[in-house]
Structure 1
Amino acid sequence: MAEQTALADIRAEGGGKADSAVVRDALGVGVAVGLSGFAFGVTSAGSGLSVLQTCALSLLVFTGASQFALVGALAAGGGPVAAAAGAFFLGVRNAFYGLRLSQVLALSRVARPFAAQWVIDETTAVSLAQPTRRAARLGFLVTGVSLYVLWNLTTLLGALGAEAIGDTDAWGLDAAGPAVFLALLAPMLKSVTERAVASLAVLLGLGLLPVLPAGVPVLVAALAAPLALFVEGRRGGRARGDAPRP
Structure 2
Amino acid sequence: MRVSPVAVAGARQAIPFAAAGLVVSLSFGISARAAGLPALATIAMSVLVYAGSAQFAAVAILGQGGSVSAAVLAAVLMNARYIAMGLAIGPSLKGGRVRRALEGQAVVDASWAMANRGDGRFDRHTLFGSSALQYLTWQTGTIIGVVAGGALPNPEALGVDAVFPAFFLALLVGELRDAEAAAAAIGGAIVAVVGGLLAPPGIGILAASAIALVGVRRPRTAAVRA
- Does the TM-score normalized on the shorter chain lie above 0.5? yes
Rounded to whole Å, the distance in 2 between the matches of 1:25 and 1:133 is 20
Q: Does 1:58 align with 2:46?
A: yes
What is the TM-score of this pair, normalised by structure 2? 0.77
Q: Distance in 2 between matches of 1:228 and 1:148?
A: 27
Matched with 2:146 is: 159
Whether 2:62 is the aligned partner of 1:88: answer no
Q: Report how far residue 181 of structure 1 moved.
A: 6.0
Kindly name which structure, 1 or 2, has the bigger radius of gyration based on alpha carbons: 1
State the alpha-carbon separation in 1 of the partners of residues 11 and 121 from structure 2.
12
Q: Answer yes or no: is the 8 Å Cα contact 1:37–1:152 preserved in 2.
A: yes
Structure 2 partner of 1:47: 35
Flag structure 2 segments of 5+ consecutive residues without an equivalent: 1-5, 217-226
Q: How many residues align?
A: 210
C-alpha root-mean-square deviation of aligned residues, in Å? Answer: 3.1
Give the 3 Å change call, closer, same or farther, for CA 226–113 of structure 1 in structure 2: closer
* Superposition TM-score, scaled by structure 1 size: 0.71
Aligned to 1:217, which of 204, 221, 226? 204
Residue 69 in 1 paired to residue 57 in 2? yes
**For 1:161, what is the secondary structure of its paired residue?**
helix
Whether the 8 Å contact between 1:44 and 1:54 is mirrored in structure 2 is yes
C-alpha displacement of 1:226 = 6.9
**Percent of paired sites with the same residue:** 29
Q: CA deviation at 1:54?
A: 1.1
Distance 1:113 1:177, change over 3 A: farther
Unaligned runs of 5+ in 1: 1-17, 230-246
2:160 to 169, 173, 177: 173
- 1:197 paired to 2:200: no
3-state DSSP class of the match of 2:14? helix
2:222 aligns with none
Distance 1:19 1:54 in 2: 29
Tell me how far apart the structure 2 counterparts of residues 145 and 217 of structure 1 sit (CA, whole Å). 34
